Structure 1
Amino acid sequence: MALIIIGGLLLCLPKAAHAASPTPLLLLQQEITGTVTDQNGLPIPGVSIILKDTKRGVVTNLDGEYRITAPANATLVFSYIGYKTREVPIDGREVINIQLEDDIAALGEVQINAGYYNTTKRESTGNIARVTAEEIENQPVISPLQALQGRMAGVEITPGGSHPGMAATIRIRGTNSLRQEGNYPLYIIDGVPVNPTPIESSSLMSSTGIDPLNNLDINNIKSIEILKDADATAIYGSRGANGVILITTKIGYNQGTGLDVRLYHGGTTAPQRYDLLNTQQYLAVRKKAFENDGVEPTERNAYDLLIWDQDRYTDWQDFLFGGTAETTNANLNFSGGNNTTSFRFGTSYFSQGTIYPGDYNYHKITGNLNLNHRSENQKFNLNLSLNYGVDTNKMVGNVGFNSTTAILPPNAPEIFNEDGFLAWEQWERANLDNPLKGYFNESNTQTNNLISNISLSYEVIKGLQLKANMGYTYYDAGELRKQPKRSYNPADENIHSSSHYKTNRTSWIIEPQLIYNTNINQLTIEALLGTTFQENKDQMENFQGRGYASEALIGNLAAAESIVNARTENNDYRYSAIFSRLGFHWDKKYFLNLTGRRDGSSRFGPSNRFANFGAIGMAWIFTEEPVIKNSLPFLSFGKLRGSYGTTGNDQIGDYGYLDAYEATTGTGGLYPTGLANPNYSWEVNKKLEVGLELSFIENKLHTSLSYYQNRSSNQLVGYPLPAITGFTTVQANLPATVENRGWEVEITSQNLETTNFRWQTSFNISFPKNELISYPDIEQSSYANTYRIGYPLNISLLYEYTGLDPETGFYTVKDINEDGSLDYQDRSIIKDQNRKFYGGINNSFSFKNFSLQFLWQFVKQEGRQTLFSAGRPSNTSVDVLSALEGDSKYQKISQSSRASQAYNYVINTGFPFEDASFLRLKTLSLSYKIPKKLLKQISIKNCRLFMHGQNLWTLTDFTGLDPEIPNSGIGNLRSITGGLEINF
């Protein structure tokens, strides 16, 4: 596919301009008013309007309005970062409304968050990806991570599943650690670190856990920056090995007040179906199996042929996930301020139903407050941010909402009786359980999340600033799963029971800092010195209540006959660090950035508690050199940058360097549960990067090319132990080195721009490569059957498929060592299951008051499809019909044990793998802004109508449910929402 990328994504952040001191005017004065808008007709707050050749000026308020007194023959200069400056003669006019045009070159000066300091895209020596509110705020997703898919190079986000609230998996430049929990990035929200580990659950979310970012209001996010290379992440030391995600919430404006209301509502459905057999096809396949096997059908082995209705047909996919989940969002925010103080506070409500049968739903209510204050002399600054969210997830627990139910025989009997209770009779006659056993279970999970931060700074002398950042987080999750006996077969004599989970996470952080900036002729020096003191406390408890007298009492522990399987955990993690940064800029052409950090973690023994990390980053803007300017006039901007450094990883359990004991029941004794190893030390990640950035045609086309190589060594794992030791694992360092390397390409361009029409495009693509490059004596380790030197961590070890046996018609695989049995010694095929490349293409169009944006996400990969087992009493792909005639790539239709064994072997070969690449219309947004002249009479400043589509269409050859998670069923849901945004 040939892709012509000719456009650019232009974003800007408000930056207040302050009125300068007035100067005497000698000519007749008059008052001028007006509104400043962008090319979409939206108001731009904070635009500076200066009277030309003076220092006198004003700024636009929240609605882009201004008022200034000036001579009738003077000229006004309108300027704002990200837009082209305009000079407009007054010519005696009293009303001057103007529209500013985007300026890609100026966008390089927009401030981006680098964590402990700010920089710009132009001057950054590191690799920092960024998305803004305009790209994510209208997406009907729960966690902000879900809104990033396809928008950033080097960032892979895989959905956890179709149930609301499930934790997604995010990988920034690949998998670094052999441990799953060692690959989480660092989350920083308004300067406060947040534990990224998903919350444990016993509901349908148990496979991935609950996303700790669910409680955030997506509409309140100003920007999300992702730090990728050593230059950007080393200042976070041991916490930056897997990248850093910085989430910044919105702040108030410094002029006037305003009320913003945003509402949308819509529906969500499952976008894909298996192509399965209908009843007639299914019965033909089953009869063929008995014929081929030479077995007489009986009620026991052929209940679907002899007991169940031969004319009945149920589309079990439609029954299971054919529903429509309603989605609703309401958002209300009030903001304002003056030259010294600004504020913003708001609330939101979000709800989403389920596509599965039953009354299950998710609800979220959030509140936020942001307060900024600057003293009149500009020396003292205060910033306060509070984000609080409560969500309730009512899902079912332990029930078959999975692909097993979707492939029930199409003539299977009813799930429910007429009275609404589970049917059991015909299922029992077939010696089966009702597939929705557990349907009346209830799982109610409620979480409360507070993230608070206060930042204080004071300028002691010019260029020297004292700063303190303090944060506190509180996360509480409680889950009650009720299991009434009516969810189960009455013949089994079940009792009412309940399961209780409770998780509590609290943390505080204090970071005093000393910041110094100075200019010496053409040299700019930026210095930072700070310390970190942090403590996390995690508490977890779970238990079960059994024997409730009635269903109404389930969950009331006082009414339970017994409490069993009780377990509690209490962990206390302490962390401290000292960090520093030195940044040098010479003549805006040469940039040097030095960062360092010394970390101390309570997760290591006394002799290994501290470690040092650091990085060096350099950049050269070579287009500032006169020889380049003169010889390459078509090149608007060119920068060469590079970085190298080390980060670390301490994402392991607490107290692993100590022996652990638990009390025995009733006797008062102790027994060992954890084996000590005081000698393990820090995982180290060494990162190397080289990047080139170029802009052409007066900055209308911007390209960025990056190459990275990250090596993670001294791997921290729970090393498996033989059962004879009495322990399952011991924490240790393995002599393994994992490398992630790859290329990233980003292109933004401005395709076409006229008075009324604009078209911009952005494109990103990543080519990642993951490899275990070293592991001495892996053959003697417990990972000998898991990893291979020279291959990625995410591999499958497979048998070699050797075709159909001409005598039996069954699948065959190769016995490599010819010992007469098949085991791991015969798995000679190594299948790489990583993505070959991935990326996204985003387009933005605007015409007068209309705006259209859409994002295509694409991935090149393989996936496994296993629905080709024909002959047994379960539905399968229509592809196996070819086996009815005997001329097929599939084995002979049979339900014999030999056929089942052959199938079990072949699914562990390359046979079931197919191309799971896809091109997906990830988002589509259409909006219309109602003209202001129609709104004046009803006192509304702005009103915008919009429609949004998510996962609307997928082009793929994959025959499963979702190619993005090809081995896991449904992941992404299709949604269509519509709403309006009003500014008062």
Structure 2
Amino acid sequence: MKNNYSRLKWVALIILGGILMFLSMVATAATTPPPFLQQQEVSGIVKDQNGLPIPGVTIALKNTNRGTVTNLDGEYNITAPANGVLVFSFIGYTTVEIEIDGRKEINIQLEEDIAALGEVQINAGYYNTTDRERTGSISRVTSEDIEQQPVVSPLEALQGRMAGVEVEQPNGVRGAASSIRIRGRNSLRLGGDQPLFIIDGVPINANSINSISPFTQNSGMDPLSTLNLSNIESIEVLKDADATAIYGSRGANGVVLISTKRNKGGDTQMEAKLYTGFSKVSNRMDLMNTAEYLEVRRTAFENDGATTNEYNGRDLLRWDQNQETDWQEELLGGTSPITDLNLAVSGGNEQTSFRLGGSYRKEGSVFPGTFEYNKVTANLSLHHRSKDNKFALDLSANYGVDNNELFFGSDFVRMAVTLPPNAPELYNEDGTLNWAENSWINPLNGLFKPQNIETNSLLSNLSLKYNFGKGLEFKTNFGYSNLQSGEVTKNLINAFNPVTWGYISLFSYHTDTRRNSWIIEPQISYNKQFGDFNINAITGLTFQENQNNFLTMDGTGYGDDSLVGNLSAADEVRATSDQEINYRYAAIFGRLGLDWKDKYYLNITGRKDGSSRFGPNKRIANFGAVGAAWIFSEEAFIQRNLPILSFGKLRGSYGTTGSDQIPDYGFMDTYEATDGPGGLYPTKLYNPNFSWEINKKLEAALQLGLLDDRINLEINWYRNRSSNQLTGYPLPAITGFSSVQANLPATIENSGWEIALNTTNIQNEEFSWRTSLNFTLPKNKLVEFDNLDLTPYRQTYRVGEPLSIALVYRYEGINPETGRYEVQDVNDDGRLDFSDRTGTAFVGRKYYGGVQNTIRIKNFNLGFLFEYINQNRRSYLSEIANSPGTYGNNSTQILDAWTQPGDQTNIQQLSTSTSSSAAFSNAMLSDEMITDASFLRLKTLSLSYQFSESFVERIGLKELDLYIHGQNLFTLTDYLGLDPQGGMAVPPMRTITSGLRLTL
């Protein structure tokens, strides 16, 4: 789009150029034709940033109407003057001007243009749109950003890159499931906010896989870790009603669309990418050394007037007082090597093209031992279309095997922080574990509680299209997914103190998870242009079925270590859980998109859902939304008066989505067998009338492009209200049941502001600098909850307050007489209980964002991302749970403990008494122990060098890049624990890798 200002600019430049050219001709006597009349042939190849040829690129001779386009191999040929200028342009890429300067061959690489609002295609699920035309809220991350991060899960690659999207990593151990929340928490139920995940059109169950490891007991295993991140083309996150309503109940908490790479046709070529490097724990606590620790312990006993003995003071009497062990170094200080290899072959012709790839990844462990993480993936995409372009077929398949040995039956992290620095040596002189005469539990016993978790995942999709002409097209998607995960935990003989070997029983624990699903979605779309009016419509059906099986077993009584895990060799095998769950879902959906003159847009979507998770009376529900947009920069009065404005759009949406994220069969009555023969007793009541949660979403947004779209700004305001909350409703004890599944009269509101800013600071042939910034200011509160005091949630929530609050005692300081923590006894009844926890403390994010910069200097590319989160969380003291002065190491902050009246400190007097421990426990439940855990983290740093085309051709390649990547390089925070996000968990790994990418 050109405005009056740009027209005048170019007219003036043309006139000035003409005058200068005329004066030059008059002043110079030449016997040969002037340069602009000397014609020559110019040829070359145009490629993208991945070294692949780009067909269809327009090459124009500047200030003329002469031009050409590249063929399927990206080649071009044009006749032009020796001193002319060629202009290379293609949708989705930055336009580049190159002076010919007498050259006969000009090869060029085009870069993606983040400012090309009307050209870059955005995946909206059932249809594609552009940033210019979209009426909904959609955020996007491309393969360029994903591949710069040496991570294993696509969720980790989103951290700090999207407004309104919270991704939290529970710890730094590979394979542990991260959590994602889109625009806040919508449900009273923990775990009821999972968005819908769709990979290449196939919905998958992305809920974490159950695991008993201390590293995953709260988060589970990540089923997305089986994906090959180098094979992901883009990840789109749909947030508002306009974008998500077409998914009905499945889109209540947002939608995450993952698209894998497709073949681009052209000559057959192979791309290889290899990197290697290492990871280390990114942070350590400042703990007491032996001298400080022993002084603290002695002072605690002196304050109590107590006498130490070999039981309460083994660290003072039985252990070496000069022993000094850095347990963080011993248990977490290892270096984990990383190797990652990716191969892909692509090719084809105008009718049929393919892409075939595979990867292998191997990582070590920062923990003691020689345990590994291995992943192997394979992927295939195939595209075919008939010569008349009426029929098209697309097939994609992704398979991954994830083998994880990085988890153990012992928590090395907690032991690394709390073990006294003078604890005994780990090994005896003969190499066996040292149990120090039964005075401790050797932390390395966890090496003899190994876990092996193997996950296999297959995702496949087949899409068939037929174009009837006149804008009418029929399409059917067939999707299938299969996931199998098995975990075996062994307890071997050396996991136990030798004095117990005579009567302990070796045992193993087994889990088996199986998930199968299929989906069929026939669709009809219609696109037609009527003058200035354009119609885009789609309607279709969805048939989906999921089958989930979960089995847990344990075996006991093995005769030898070599037999542990082989259930047939166990004396006793017991099934502790056996679940088989079937979920069926069906829907009809439709979308009508209208636009007039490419500046007024209206989008109407609707869906009728049916879910097997509800009773016969409530299985059907209707959802819908409307979105509208006005590109006001197309108006003549705007173009006349605001020449600096290159793009301006107002958009808004409103609609409803629902949620059926509840346990299957929740409406049914269930029974269990009695201990005696032939008896049954009821365990759950029948309720066929509980119905869908309803999420009403409202949004308004402004998008601006300034200075020919060199500056792009988007500001969103949203408000989501989720009501009809599905949860357990309490019942009187006389009924014999504690609750029944029902809808509670509670409404949760999430509102906030999101800002996304993209700027092209500098852009020329040899230097470019781009900046992307996102910022989110969220607000969450429980708007209403009728009869809250009559429900169990009275001990968790307060009307008018956020869901992420802690109901706490009111901290009153340290008693100047006793030196102990004190909290307020609100009702003065002489005891502390829940009725005294009248205070509320916010625990969660206040605001968050990220800033990314991408700089190119000739063949060098530098990119880095900073993530910032302003948040509160519980103090590290509450997670260590060691009262100051009791057994176990602690932060050096303990050295500032209270000693006399007037001391200004938040650490009570050192003591080992039960009364001091009780005071400590009460303080841990007070507002004093909610602390600032804000942080600024250098999330990613990437530096690469692309060799010149002439050099690459001489060594027989098409492209060659060298790069170095860094992840979680440093974190600035005042939080005293291991990690401000994970608390006392393994911090995110500081990872540095280097590698190369080449194309043959």
For this structure pair, what is the TM-score category when the shorter chain's length is used for normalisation?
Answer: over 0.9
Match for residue 822 of structure 1? 832
Match for residue 46 of structure 1? 55
Among 310, 316, 322, the alignment partner of 2:327 is 316
Q: Does 1:348 align with 2:359?
A: yes
CA distance in 2, matches of 1:282, 1:72: 82
Match for residue 764 of structure 1? 774
- Per the TM alignment, residue 399 of structure 1 is displaced from its structure 2 partner at its CA by 0.9
- Per the TM alignment, residue 806 of structure 1 is displaced from its structure 2 partner at its CA by 1.6
Q: Does 1:951 align with 2:968?
A: yes
- Per the TM alignment, residue 885 of structure 1 is displaced from its structure 2 partner at its CA by 5.2
- Per the TM alignment, residue 486 of structure 1 is displaced from its structure 2 partner at its CA by 2.2
Deviations 1:775-805 (A, max 9, x none): 0010111111110001111111111111111
CA distance in 2, matches of 1:831, 1:805: 22
CA distance in 1, matches of 2:346, 2:516: 30
CA distance in 1, matches of 2:253, 2:164: 12
The answer to whether the Cα contact below 8 Å between 1:701 and 1:749 also exists between their aligned partners in 2 is: yes
Within 5 Å, which residues of 2 pair with 1:783-932?
783-867=793-877, 869-883=883-897, 886=900, 887-889=903-905, 890-932=907-949
Match for residue 657 of structure 1? 667
Q: Does 1:490 align with 2:498?
A: yes
Letter in 1 for 2:894: V
Change (3 A) 1:593 1:41: closer
Among 226, 235, 247, the alignment partner of 1:215 is 226
Match for residue 396 of structure 2? 385
Match for residue 753 of structure 2? 743
Question: TM-score scaled by structure 2?
Answer: 0.91
- Per the TM alignment, residue 37 of structure 1 is displaced from its structure 2 partner at its CA by 4.9
Match for residue 14 of structure 1? none
Find the residue that maps to 1:911 and give its secondary structure.
helix
Change (3 A) 1:629 1:49: closer
The answer to whether the Cα contact below 8 Å between 1:689 and 1:708 also exists between their aligned partners in 2 is: yes
Within 5 Å, which residues of 2 pair with 1:81-480?
81-85=91-95, 94-98=104-108, 100=110, 105-203=115-213, 204-426=215-437, 428=438, 430=439, 432-480=440-488
CA distance in 2, matches of 1:841, 1:387: 32
Match for residue 66 of structure 1? 75
Letter in 2 for 1:934: F
Letter in 1 for 2:54: P
Deviations 1:681-711 (A, max 9, x none): 0011000000001111121111110000001
Change (3 A) 1:60 1:409: farther
Letter in 2 for 1:66: E
CA distance in 1, matches of 2:891, 2:677: 58
The answer to whether the Cα contact below 8 Å between 1:189 and 1:247 also exists between their aligned partners in 2 is: yes
Change (3 A) 1:806 1:72: closer
Find the residue that maps to 2:225 and give its secondary structure.
coil
Find the residue that maps to 2:829 and give its secondary structure.
coil
Q: Which moved more, 1:354-363 or 1:329-338?
A: 354-363
- Per the TM alignment, residue 145 of structure 1 is displaced from its structure 2 partner at its CA by 0.5
- Per the TM alignment, residue 725 of structure 1 is displaced from its structure 2 partner at its CA by 5.5
Within 5 Å, which residues of 2 pair with 1:509-908?
509-663=519-673, 667=677, 669-719=679-729, 727=737, 729-867=739-877, 869-883=883-897, 886=900, 887-889=903-905, 890-908=907-925
Q: Which moved more, 1:704-713 or 1:557-566?
A: 557-566
Find the residue that maps to 1:433 and give its secondary structure.
coil
Change (3 A) 1:727 1:526: same
Deviations 1:28-57 (A, max 9, x none): 99975312256x795652342468899995
Deviations 1:432-461 (A, max 9, x none): 433444430121111110000011111112
The answer to whether the Cα contact below 8 Å between 2:466 and 2:473 also exists between their aligned partners in 1 is: yes
Letter in 1 for 2:470: K
- Per the TM alignment, residue 295 of structure 1 is displaced from its structure 2 partner at its CA by 1.2
Find the residue that maps to 2:116 and give its secondary structure.
helix
The answer to whether the Cα contact below 8 Å between 2:729 and 2:791 also exists between their aligned partners in 1 is: no
The answer to whether the Cα contact below 8 Å between 1:49 and 1:78 also exists between their aligned partners in 2 is: yes
Unpaired runs of 5+ residues, structure 1, are: 1-27
Match for residue 13 of structure 1? none
Find the residue that maps to 1:346 and give its secondary structure.
strand
The answer to whether the Cα contact below 8 Å between 2:844 and 2:873 also exists between their aligned partners in 1 is: no
Q: Over aligned residues, Cα RMSD in angstroms?
A: 2.4
Letter in 2 for 1:894: S
Change (3 A) 1:421 1:686: farther
CA distance in 2, matches of 1:804, 1:708: 44
Find the residue that maps to 1:276 and give its secondary structure.
coil
The answer to whether the Cα contact below 8 Å between 2:339 and 2:361 also exists between their aligned partners in 1 is: yes
Find the residue that maps to 1:607 and give its secondary structure.
coil
CA distance in 2, matches of 1:640, 1:274: 49
Deviations 1:936-976 (A, max 9, x none): 2321111100000000011111111111233x422411111
The answer to whether the Cα contact below 8 Å between 2:409 and 2:450 also exists between their aligned partners in 1 is: no
CA distance in 1, matches of 2:409, 2:240: 42
Letter in 1 for 2:996: L
Unpaired runs of 5+ residues, structure 2, are: 1-37
The answer to whether the Cα contact below 8 Å between 2:163 and 2:849 also exists between their aligned partners in 1 is: yes
Letter in 2 for 1:906: A
Question: TM-score scaled by structure 1?
Answer: 0.93
The answer to whether the Cα contact below 8 Å between 1:869 and 1:876 also exists between their aligned partners in 2 is: no
- Per the TM alignment, residue 147 of structure 1 is displaced from its structure 2 partner at its CA by 0.5
Change (3 A) 1:903 1:101: closer
Letter in 2 for 1:925: S
Q: Which moved more, 1:716-725 or 1:133-142?
A: 716-725
Letter in 1 for 2:951: L
The answer to whether the Cα contact below 8 Å between 1:202 and 1:397 also exists between their aligned partners in 2 is: no
The answer to whether the Cα contact below 8 Å between 2:227 and 2:400 also exists between their aligned partners in 1 is: yes
- Per the TM alignment, residue 416 of structure 1 is displaced from its structure 2 partner at its CA by 3.2
Letter in 1 for 2:433: L
Find the residue that maps to 1:141 and give its secondary structure.
coil
Deviations 1:666-689 (A, max 9, x none): 835444343322111001100000
Q: Which moved more, 1:217-226 or 1:75-84?
A: 75-84
The answer to whether the Cα contact below 8 Å between 2:304 and 2:911 also exists between their aligned partners in 1 is: yes
CA distance in 1, matches of 2:233, 2:876: 43
The answer to whether the Cα contact below 8 Å between 2:273 and 2:341 also exists between their aligned partners in 1 is: yes
Q: Which moved more, 1:878-887 or 1:949-958?
A: 878-887
Change (3 A) 1:676 1:433: farther
The answer to whether the Cα contact below 8 Å between 1:29 and 1:69 also exists between their aligned partners in 2 is: no
Percent identity of paired positions between Structure 1 and Structure 2: 51
Aligned residues: 951
Letter in 2 for 1:753: Q
CA distance in 2, matches of 1:766, 1:708: 11
CA distance in 2, matches of 1:692, 1:248: 27
Deviations 1:293-336 (A, max 9, x none): 11122222211111100000111111121111112110000011
- Per the TM alignment, residue 162 of structure 1 is displaced from its structure 2 partner at its CA by 2.1
Q: Which moved more, 1:474-483 or 1:598-607?
A: 474-483
The answer to whether the Cα contact below 8 Å between 1:764 and 1:840 also exists between their aligned partners in 2 is: yes
